[in-house]
Amino acid sequence: MELRHLHYFLKIAETSSFTQAAAALRVTQPTLSHQIKQLEQEIGTPLFDRIGRSIQITEAGRIFRNHAQRALHELESGLASLNELDGLMHGHLRIGVFRSFGNSLLPAVLADFHHAHPGVRLSMQQMSLADMEIALSSGDIDFAITTYLPATSEKLVSEELFTEPLVLAVGPQHEFYGHAPIHLEALAGMPLILRPAGTPSRQLIEHCFAARGLAPRVVMEMGSGDATLATIRCSQLATICAGRALAGAQGLATVRIKAPELQRSGAILWHTDRHRPKAAVILSQMARHAYAQGRPHESG
């Protein structure tokens, strides 16, 4: 008995037709009939009753069908497991990450993953949320880790990774350097450097201000976080950012803002119609564990 015998038998049982089964399997009808006769001879009992030009599965055929389906399912599961194992040894994982990922917990997670699975090659692409959605839909990346806004496509599913408050970052020349926590209203009229209009972080900040009848006073727009921090370090300007963005930054101070809604969330994005490689699942689990252990304390 060979695997093709089981596939042929199940297709005939499904269609109740040698003609339709032969067309679906892309074999000739005489070939299909010959293969089924071989199977029946090996089993020692008819699997189908031939009644004129129609067929009907026999009681023995119904019993055998259940076992054949389970056998093929187990075989497919075994092959899938082997493929996943091979993927962890020799795979290629492609990930889209948010632009400030260098100041997050993710680099350490990637290092740990590489140590555990050195055969898997990792490709990281820093990109916007919109680009992540396109790349996930086209299959150019296996999954993505984003911040600030949820995905807009119905074909994407998100799993929350972390939530952390945004803070006011200032340099030594700023009046709030070393200041105690402040209310959002204290920022009204304060000259700020923010990301360009339309970016997720800018939209989040503007939405939070607007909810309280305020608007941020933006005197500079910068797409680079490093350039923003370098500017506030030597001026009386300030910015609003995640506290992790200042990790290792010298000469800067953070001021907590008493605005619970002013916080960013991180999420893992998957495409609903695409297979999740085992390596991607493991890496995402490691990321969730890292953030669960090192999650920053939220403030009110």
- Taking only the tens place, the pLDDT of each residue in 175-198 is 999 999 999 999 989 999 999 998
Q: Which domains does the chain possess?
A: 3-88 (1.10.10.10), 91-162+264-294 (3.40.190.10), 165-263 (3.40.190.290)
CB atoms under 10 Å from CB of 136, counted, come to 24
Q: What is the pLDDT of residue 102?
A: 73
pTM: predicted TM-score of the whole model, two decimal places:
0.57
Q: Which of 27, 30, 31, 32 is nearest to 12 (CA)?
A: 32
Q: What is the pLDDT of residue 57?
A: 92
Model confidence at 2: pLDDT above 90 = no
- Vertex 279: Cα angle to 278 and 285 (nearest 5): 90
- Taking only the tens place, the pLDDT of each residue in 101-113 is 777 788 999 999 9
Q: What is the pLDDT of residue 25?
A: 87
Lowest mean per-residue pLDDT among 143-152, 216-225, 263-272 = 143-152
Residue 296: pLDDT band with limits 50, 70, 90: very low
Q: What is the pLDDT of residue 79?
A: 66
Q: What is the pLDDT of residue 299?
A: 32
